[in-house]
Amino acid sequence: MIDAPSLKIVQVSDTHLFAETDQHLLGFSTLRSLETLLQHLRQLSPLPDLFLLTGDLSQDGTAASYQHLQKRFSSLQIPLYWLPGNHDCLENMERSLTHPLFRADKSFQAGGWQFILLNSQDPGCVHGVLSPNSLDWLEQQLQQCSKVPTLISMHHPPLEVESSWIDGSRLQNASDFFDLIDRHPQVKLVVFGHVHQEVQRQRGSVFYLGTPSTCIQFEPRSTEFALGHQEPGFRVFNLYPNGTWTTRVQRIHYAHALDLAATGY
């Protein structure tokens, strides 16, 4: 008999919203695609226990873009935990995401698991970095909960995803992160955004998982910037009390036209 999962969570990433609701990203209405995705989330059975929003929630970093996000997600009445990506403005996030369902906690426990959310934003840069203070704090959190299975989330991937142009903007001090993680075997999962595609890698006993964007997708294994034809999506996790887990990526149908001549965004 398989135990029921203690927790069902959904990871949503890279919504890239704008202040103007009719603005497009490379031919793509990021707000409309998010609204379509939320319709799919409402149909999940059972509904998730919580959401993890893993960065680049805004494209322009405006307070208005975060208010659009907050308005749409708060209607689901499910707690959300968020972190910034390279396109986000952390100050505006903190000022705007004030609905009680938008939790500012960066370390918490639920369903017998420990969750740690890291800020990998290096202001003004596309790549990611974990500051010495962030690494020290991470060490403290892991030491305090050494027996609790742990999921760590951040925006930037700490390892390569086999796309040269994306790998150049991954976590720059990944070796420091790996050295720390290697000392704490309770870490089971590291989840991230930024890559706009489904990714699964394993390093030691830890699985590293990236999720599709809710809007544009990047072509996997591309040397230069390239948009993919895959549909928007999100990732679902079932976490079990004994530290095991299952996951799947779910994509949605959203009709759109892409600017395939684009060389960046």
The 10s digit of each residue's pLDDT in 156-166 is 999 999 999 99
DSSP letter (8 states) at residue 128: B
pLDDT at position 112? 95
Name the 3-class secondary structure at 166: helix
pLDDT at position 259? 58
CA distance 193 to 213: 8
- Which structural domains are found in the chain, ordered by start? 7-251 (3.60.21.10)
pLDDT at position 261? 56
Which parts of the chain have pLDDT scores under 70? 1-5, 255-265
CA distance 5 to 241: 7
219: number of Cβ within 10 Å: 16
One-letter amino acid for residue 158 of the chain:
P
pTM value is 0.95
